[in-house]
Amino acid sequence: MITGRLTFSAAVMLAADVEANTHALFVGEPIGARVNHYGDASMFTLLKSRLCVNCSTLFWQMSDARDMRPWIFPDLVATESFSDFVNHRDPALETIVKHQLDAKHVFDKQHPNRNWRRPSQQQDWPMILTK
């Protein structure tokens, strides 16, 4: 599954379901929100100022309550730069094309996965993202 910094809202819910129920590899950048998050914004008007405000109204728990990850981190990192955008390159797609499945990427065959502590979630995130 290709993810990135703009993966949020319902796409986070899809990513959480894919992670929990399949053995799919995540490619790209970390998703743009926590797996357990607030959503379903409702609009209301402030009484005195008459400003319209959107406010999230529901908490969506898509993973274990102890899952405090700031994101789902990809198994295969492929960050996009402005240069990639200008030159019409897709680093995630290029990474997928180059990737050959090997033993270190095969998760145990238990189904459903239900293991949100995948190997890719234990990495040193800041070091990888700044390379």
The pLDDT value given to residue 124: 52
Element (H, E) at 129: helix 125-129
H or E stretch at 42: strand 37-45
Task: Render pLDDT for 14-53 as a digit per residue (tens, 0 to 9).
Answer: 999 998 888 888 999 999 999 999 888 899 999 999 999 9
Gap between the Cα atoms of 36 and 18, Å rounded: 14
pLDDT tens digits, 70-117: 889 998 899 999 999 999 999 999 998 888 655 455 555 554 555 555
pTM above 0.85, yes or no: no
Say if residue 130's pLDDT is above 60: no
What percent of the chain is predicted at pLDDT more than 90? 42
The CA distance from 36 to 32, in Å, is 12
